[in-house]
Structure 1
């Protein structure tokens, strides 16, 4: 009997952060919207070619990443894109990038194109001291490691189109060996030299009608796309213990090579079947339990039938399967991102198992006659569908998907992705459950950047995404999950409408009550706790916090234990009694207990004083 999914193992790896910049989708939320609405970002360009183009690919804030204008100009835009993706993915994971210095965090980047080097060598641009590092593909990983002060492995992976999914495999193995304690995995691909497209066209790989018809009778090649994606990986046991939000779990993966097909670029069915079998064996789950596979799915007349035959042999017709295997390809939405394609498919699969739905695969009407879908027990969803097996939770199974990526030189990769397990631990960044305790009447939300313009731009982005979380969560994540820079605006909001209005004011540079903006000193500031004496009290002080904060309550209980036998009253009684607080023998110890407990609460949140002052 095949083992069930959902059985947690020490080798399981959690995906705790994600980011992307893709055609028609500048972020994860936009990407998911594009997928679920069946959107296509493929457009015909003025030169007649079809492409999934990345808007603003040349835009880059060099100063933010501690690069001079000359360094930035010499650096391949793929390096710059990787810096942006890595930073955003860490913040999505609730990790302040600057706090990773000195850690064994690894960086693994799938990258293959060298268009920028080709352009630079053909131009009259003089070689400089920044040229060597600017054009080296290895620097796509190394720059991020240098920026953040990381000590783990840092390497670029080039196995052609399978590069970024191979990078996921290598990162997971590094985490399992203990070589890395956290891993940042990226994939980037930008089309900067038009002759690179001409080369793929001469190979016969590109679709003349500008559509990728995966597994369809019209399959005639793919459309190129550009952009990138990034994920943050961490051992599942540690992620759950730390209260991280887990998007999905990597159960296992495998990589192999065709080992000599009929030609260098012709795929080999048995080699693809072998990588599938190895991946599910390492994942510890039966191949009949996978419900969806994100295909390599390039829509080529040769590649599609080979991939389908391997999938059908290992997964579609696996013993115990009681429904056809659903398959699809994100290349129909955004194009083939080549070295970054595998990671884009991985992010799509992660979102599918997290949300429990399967987006449509576009451009599919009539199955390829060379692919016997019924016999292979495969199907291509052409509309948004609920997860193929909605009863999985009731049977103890978690949603399970596979991701395939194959390089044109025969390097094959497959990763097994599972829904995150249910966790009773609070997710980092969630202070309270709605309705469980009284929320603060006003929440400060901090927006910061290295320039006033950066603050305004970020305020606009926060405004767009603020509706997806509670007001307290937005306020907490603004200071806990993001780096705080010297240019700052603080929006004081009592509800979502006030927050939206305040963020709009910051984005537009318009003064508004409840919004404070300025420039703070960074790095040299110190904190001082002031402990007031008699006079700084009121009836009912601290009772709400005592009920809401476990840290505060524990400290107050310790104070009560210390007072026992010395006083004839209890703190919980006198704090609500205005007359009692007028007695000197009550107010002094009561104020002491409240102040000490407040200090304990601040320290638990990371605010440790450099000095303390007080009186009485």
Structure 2
């Protein structure tokens, strides 16, 4: 993920630096893929590094590398082919390199402060540490690390405070009625996912972190599940001045 402002001076310098580090380990048939989120959303100035991190994280999560929007022909001064570099022009799958997804991010400040971040996808990192994932994307037991040690966030949401309290009571009664539950871990995983990801978000909410059904039953009748009203939504406007720091 390059800084890539599209300037005739800055881009060749950045490409030369990238090439000096990576080109020798690449071949014309296996080039290093480069791009910049600025082709998609423009230069967000002081938040441009964060935008690059978000783009890279999404690419890692989905296993897909997005093309650079509007890119047609590279500046000849970049000499991409000679450096075994390539700018993707269409959506493509992340290359499979032993299950590892890793990327570098460049970001350069107007005042001379430069930053470089190396990111790696969580599954491949945990695998290197001896952990693995289950079907819901949660770490599984391995090398003494157990699922039951992983807390789940249980969230409730409704249009008013009494409705949230009623939901908590109903859930508590349902949990108390469960008998001979074969897989408590899987049940909690599904419950946390359904309540957190598959339900509408309303103004009044309550949430707690639990490790077992008995923990959840206790929490549902405790003070930690007292409903609270979220802050009202506000409209946010983003204003970018283009290239440079001037308005």
- Aligned partner of residue 405 in structure 1, secondary structure: strand
Q: Tell me, yes or no, if the aligned pair for 2:101 and 2:121 is still in contact at 8 Å.
A: yes
* TM-score between the two structures when normalised by the length of structure 2: 0.57
Aligned partner (choices 178, 182, 203) of residue 547 of structure 1: 182
Which string of whole-angstrom CA distances, capped at 9 and with x for unpartnered residues, describes residues 233-262 of structure 1? xxxxxxxxxxxxxxxxxxxxxxxxxxxxxx
Q: CA deviation at 1:602?
A: 4.0
Q: Tell me, yes or no, if the aligned pair for 1:551 and 1:604 is still in contact at 8 Å.
A: no
Structure 1 pair 346–522 and aligned structure 2 pair: CA distance change class (3 A): same
2:37 matched to 1:327? no
Paired residues for 1:7-46 under 5 Å: none
Q: Structure 1: where are the runs of 5+ without partners?
A: 1-293, 430-476, 490-517, 532-540, 553-599, 611-616
Aligned partner (choices 37, 48, 60) of residue 341 of structure 1: 48
Query: Larger Rg: 1 or 2?
Result: 1
Q: Tell me, yes or no, if the aligned pair for 2:26 and 2:32 is still in contact at 8 Å.
A: no
2:154 matched to 1:480? yes
Query: CA separation in 2, counterparts of 1:549 and 1:309?
Result: 55
Which string of whole-angstrom CA distances, capped at 9 and with x for unpartnered residues, describes residues 165-191 of structure 1? xxxxxxxxxxxxxxxxxxxxxxxxxxx
Paired residues for 1:121-270 under 5 Å: none
Query: CA separation in 1, counterparts of 2:115 and 2:85?
Result: 20
Structure 1 pair 332–547 and aligned structure 2 pair: CA distance change class (3 A): same
Structure 1 pair 606–297 and aligned structure 2 pair: CA distance change class (3 A): farther
Please tell me the root mean square deviation across aligned C-alpha atoms, in Å.
Answer: 3.8
Query: CA separation in 2, counterparts of 1:337 and 1:331?
Result: 8
Quote the residue 1:299 is aligned against.
Answer: 6
Q: CA deviation at 1:606?
A: 5.0
2:216 matched to 1:601? no
2:114 matched to 1:383? no
2:60 matched to 1:358? no
Query: CA separation in 2, counterparts of 1:328 and 1:424?
Result: 30
- Matched residue count: 172
Quote the residue 1:311 is aligned against.
Answer: 18
Quote the residue 1:410 is aligned against.
Answer: 112
Paired residues for 1:485-500 under 5 Å: 488-489=158-159
Structure 1 pair 370–481 and aligned structure 2 pair: CA distance change class (3 A): farther
- Aligned partner of residue 46 in structure 2, secondary structure: helix
Q: CA deviation at 1:322?
A: 6.3
Aligned partner (choices 130, 133, 138) of residue 424 of structure 1: 133
Paired residues for 1:2-151 under 5 Å: none
Q: Structure 2: where are the runs of 5+ without partners?
A: 139-151, 188-211, 223-247
